[in-house]
Chain A
Amino acid sequence: MIDLIIDMVLLVFLIAMAIAILRICGMLAMAMLFGLYSLLMAGLFMVMDAPDVAFTEAAVGSGVSTVLMLVTLSLTKSRYEKTTSKFQWRPLIIVVSTGAALIYGIHDIALFGDPQAAVHQHVANHYIAHGQAETGVPNLVTAVLASYRGFDTLGEVVVIFTAGIGVMLLLGRTRRHVRKSDEDVA
């Protein structure tokens, strides 16, 4: 019961934080709020018995991601975003209709925490019952990540590697003469 209450309180905070990010026009404040938002999300993952995901979200969301956002803000020298006083109806209509369709859909999902839910009837039972015996690793998340879904993880690692190469190609400047010609044009 206490888990459920903490869960709901954190969710309310999370929604409030998302609305704050939506409303705020100072970019630096937005980056800071984003770090807080990720920290709340990490706490929420911890309450929902997912310590591995909570770890990652805490380090990525409130660490690396916020720092990258701050660096981008300083590189683009943006301090405030351009705001319009005109209320925008069209985005609101699109968003509300999408949300309504999804809310109609979620009532077919099993109740929160129901052990008989369809999600838990597929491969998860095998992982929990035989995971340790088959891989020798008690942490089932590691076992599934590295062994049962090894191909998937290999793909993810290659995606991260490729994204790193992409950033270096876009922003890296190791050769001076390329920039010289850029300056001449400018």
Chain B
Amino acid sequence: MIMTEYFLEHFVSHFNYWAAIIIMMIGLYIVISHTNLIKKIAGLNIFQTAVFLLYISLGVVAGGTAPIVADGFSVYSNPLPHVLMLTAIVVGVATTALAFALIVRIKEAYDRVEEDDIVEKDDLCGEEADQW
């Protein structure tokens, strides 16, 4: 019984935060362990959405509604995290596009998008590099 109460209080009521951290861990794992640069950017985007999720979860008020003032409502969710994340999403896609542009240039210069291949090619010099 005590276990159930503990579970309800510490897991269900924190489930959004747990989920945000699990998603963040998956994103971070993709960034560190995968060598494909496009996959790395996808991992970084997952990490980013985990942060959005955490912020929006913090802004929720139980029994509240969307922060648009209207008659008949008095409880609203916190508008501040919404504003911060709204701008972060659009800025995020713009910077992601910049990262993709860099990847396209890397592909044109090295003919590879795998990080270890690129490092390997960087280490070569002279004729070896020309023969790549």
Contacts and interface: CB of A to CB of B under 8 A. Distances in A.
B69 A140 contact: yes
A123 B83 CA distance: 13
Nearest to A182: B108
Contact of B35 (A82, A99, A128): A82
A56 B90 contact: yes
Contact of A109 (B14, B28, B98): B14
Interface string B1-33: 000000001101111111101111111111011
B94 A163 contact: yes
- Of listed B18, B42, B45, B81, residue having the most chain A CB within 10 A: B42
A141 B103 contact: no
Given A72-B104, A156-B87, A65 B93 contact: yes
A109 B86 contact: no
Contact of A117 (B15, B58, B80, B89): B58
Contacts of B66: 49-52
Contact of B33 (A88, A99, A149): A88
A99 B24 contact: yes
A56 B89 contact: yes
Contacts of A117: 58
Contacts of B57: 48, 112
A130 B30 CA distance: 44
Contacts of A41: 49, 52-53
Contacts of A36: none
B102 interface: yes
A159 B91 contact: yes
Contacts of A65: 45, 93, 96
B42 A81 contact: no
Contacts of A149: 83
A155 to B, nearest CB: 9
A92 B103 CA distance: 26
A160 interface: yes
A64 B93 contact: yes
Contact of A53 (B13, B85, B98): B85
Interface in A77-93: 77-78, 81-82, 88, 90-92
Contacts of B58: 109, 117, 119
A123 B76 CA distance: 14
5 contacts: A11-B16, A81-B34, A113-B60, A113-B63, A141-B86
Interface of A: 4, 7-8, 11-12, 14-15, 18-19, 21-22, 27, 30, 34, 37-38, 41, 44-45, 48-53, 56-57, 60-61, 64-65, 68-69, 71-73, 75-78, 81-82, 88, 90-92, 94-96, 98-99, 102-103, 106-107, 109, 111-115, 117, 119-120, 123-124, 127-128, 131-132, 138-141, 143-145, 149, 152-153, 156, 159-160, 163-164, 166-167, 170-171
